[in-house]
Structure 1
Amino acid sequence: MFKYRARLRPRDVRSVDPSLFLTNSMPTLLVREHAILLNLGSLRAIAMQDCVLIFDHNRPGGQAFIESLLPRLNPKNMNGVPAMPFELEVVEAALLSRTQRLEQRLMKVEPRVQALLEVLPNKLTADVLEQLRISKQTLVELGSRAGALRQMLLDLLEDPLEIRRICIMGRNCTLNKRNDDVECTLPLDKQIADDEEEEIEMLLENYLQRCESCHGQAERLLDSAKEMEDSIAVNLSSRRLEVSRVELLLQVGTFCVAVGALVAGIFGMNLRSYLEEHVFAFWLTTAGIIVGAVVAFFLMYSYLRDRRIL
């Protein structure tokens, strides 16, 4: 019954079908002759002149949309201001709920990222690095969603024909196929359609600015997080280099001591060298081994410094 009233084609309904979320995940706002189809993430809806069909209304996007729409339909909240057509109220409530959810997520993640940037890179712990990774993923997702919504609004603003289709919905008006001008049976409908076109453009520009602000802030925080990751990588590389230098020095010292041990092992064999008959042979040999090991160590150290290995 709803499909008959809206006069929608099956491919139009597929654009807002929640079961096809893998193929229609990009935000879309399709204008048809008797309905407007909205696909804004977890919010999938079809708006007509006097009703709106919400798919999966229990999801966060649907709940936020309902909370934004109901106060706008209450006559007590209008304060004497003429109400917009119902379908425009639905569109604005959908854009408002979507942008507010993006802004709220940004407000939650921004202090966390700022706090991480203050403690890093001085405090490198597994918990801090894990929080940075999670925050970075959140910013990537947030920037992607804000960018997709911004692109949808830009496409609408660059296509005045779609805006005029919204304006003539429910009126005895048509679009001239030659110049795309609005032609109405009653002059009053023509005036109202022109006023609504300007109002819709201002509405879309307002939410476009909010999306651009959200997207820009998310990108700036993401760039700061990436720069911090680069700084952490440089810091860790510097530490690994210091450890490698210490290991190399220990290996050089071990080699020199091993050479001295080789000499001591040679003299320790049960072969007569006649040196054992002299009183000072032991002390001279020991001193020679120590001096030789120290000299060899400094020679190798100087060689490594000259080759810029250390």
Structure 2
Amino acid sequence: MHRVQIHARDLRIIDPLLSYPSAILGRERAIVLNLEHIKAIITSEEVLLRDPSDDNVTPVVEELRRRLKPMNANREDQREEKDSNVQHDIETTDEDESPFEFRALEVALEAICSYLAARTLELETAVYPALDMLTSKISSRNLDRVRKLKSQMTRLTARVQKVRDELEQLLDDDDDMADLYLSRKLAGASPVSGSGAASWFLASPTIGSKISRASRASIATVRGDENDVEELEMLLEAYFMQIDGTFNKLTTLREYIDNTEDYINIQLDNHRNQLIQLELFLSSGTVCSSIYSLIAGIFGMNIPYSWNEEHGYMFKWVVAISGIICAVLFILIISYARFKGLVGS
């Protein structure tokens, strides 16, 4: 903490055992970075990574070594020529692409954006076939598969949105972006504070000499507008657009899932309506059959009728007429239901 001048609460942000949202915090001498599995402290001259041997962090370490090594070599050459030509040293430094902390931050942002984009692509390749299969055949297996993929998509969307919101918050606040200019603050501390800066690093002449060299190297920047954050803004905007594109892909994927769910619900409603129609047909037929059975049951009772012996043929006519009446009644019920739009044509 004394080395990079940060508080204990800043260390909790990069603690893997604690759950903290994605954050990019600018401190006096360091940038505290918490982006998913990338947890680091960036200073104007070094990068401190949490668990660099992790499989997800190893590519970041290799990329940091690749991108930061040429700049370190240039600085060594500049240090050798410092005594002979100070002015040449300043001009050479001014030609550097960007400060050390910005190049390290760019590596971290590129890594996390690429990582989330890759996870999104993997999810897309799994979700679309699963939804198509569910659309063609609704089964418990397909439903469970889509449910699991939807849960993964929800978690991934939350992770992407946290990174996106953090970048958007930084872009909306120029003061927060200005706090990330470590080299500028380091260069401005020496000529302004004078003896104050010397008292800070009195016990470490190596760090003091580094500050002195950084001050001379960044003298042109200090003379400029200290509130100018255009360089960092362009850097953050580039990766904000990338993470926003990933977020839009997930949003489109969620809409596709919602549309598929609506389509499946429509199919289920259609099947439900067909079952209701079948139930209506069966109920109507049951009512008509009950009426017919009632008439047949009345005449089948052992009750003496005065006309039964003389007019035995009447039973046949009653049965036939009752059947015709029940059939007509059934047709009328179905016709009325179709007229009211209760069943399909």
Range class of TM-score, shorter chain: 0.7 to 0.9
Deviation at 1:36, TM superposition (A): 1.1
Matched to 1:200, the amino acid is L
Structural mapping, 1:11-160, within 5 Å: 11-21=9-19, 24=20, 26-57=21-52, 61-75=56-70, 82=96, 85-119=99-133, 121-160=135-174
- Figure out how many residues of one structure are paired with residues of the other and give that number: 296
Q: In 1, distance between residues paired with 2:252 and 2:5?
A: 44
Q: Deviations over 1:120-148 (max 9, x none)?
A: 53332333333333333333333332222
Q: 1:35 to 1:281 in 2, by over 3 A?
A: same
Q: Choose which of 172, 188, 213 in structure 2 pairs with 1:173.
A: 188
Deviation at 1:60, TM superposition (A): 5.7
Deviation at 1:275, TM superposition (A): 5.6
Q: 1:206 to 1:185 in 2, by over 3 A?
A: closer
Q: Which has the larger radius of gyration?
A: 2
* TM-score w.r.t. length of structure 1: 0.81
Q: In 2, distance between residues paired with 1:67 and 1:187?
A: 30
Q: 1:67 to 1:272 in 2, by over 3 A?
A: farther
Aligned to 1:179: none
The answer on whether the counterparts of 1:44 and 1:54 sit within 8 Å (CA) in structure 2 is: yes
The answer on whether the counterparts of 2:101 and 2:182 sit within 8 Å (CA) in structure 1 is: no
Aligned to 2:83: none
Deviation at 1:64, TM superposition (A): 4.8
Aligned to 2:84: none
Q: Deviations over 1:47-73 (max 9, x none)?
A: 234443333556565345335434334
Matched to 2:12, the amino acid is R
The answer on whether the counterparts of 1:61 and 1:97 sit within 8 Å (CA) in structure 2 is: no
The answer on whether the counterparts of 2:45 and 2:100 sit within 8 Å (CA) in structure 1 is: yes
87-96 vs 187-196, greater mean Cα deviation: 187-196
**Residue 4 (str. 1) matches residue 2 (str. 2):** yes
The answer on whether the counterparts of 2:42 and 2:104 sit within 8 Å (CA) in structure 1 is: yes
Matched to 1:102, the amino acid is L
Q: 1:283 to 1:56 in 2, by over 3 A?
A: farther
Deviation at 1:90, TM superposition (A): 2.9
Q: Choose which of 279, 290, 301 in structure 1 pairs with 2:334.
A: 301
SS in 2 for 1:53: strand
- Identity over aligned residues, as a percent? 30
The answer on whether the counterparts of 1:68 and 1:96 sit within 8 Å (CA) in structure 2 is: no
* Larger relative contact order (Cα-Cα within 8 Å, sequence gap ≥ 6): 2
Gaps of 5+ in 1: 177-183
Q: In 2, distance between residues paired with 1:58 and 1:251?
A: 72
CA RMSD of superposed structures (Å): 3.3
SS in 1 for 2:24: strand
* TM-score w.r.t. length of structure 2: 0.74
The answer on whether the counterparts of 1:139 and 1:219 sit within 8 Å (CA) in structure 2 is: no
**Residue 163 (str. 1) matches residue 177 (str. 2):** yes
Q: In 1, distance between residues paired with 2:109 and 2:307?
A: 98
The answer on whether the counterparts of 2:24 and 2:34 sit within 8 Å (CA) in structure 1 is: yes
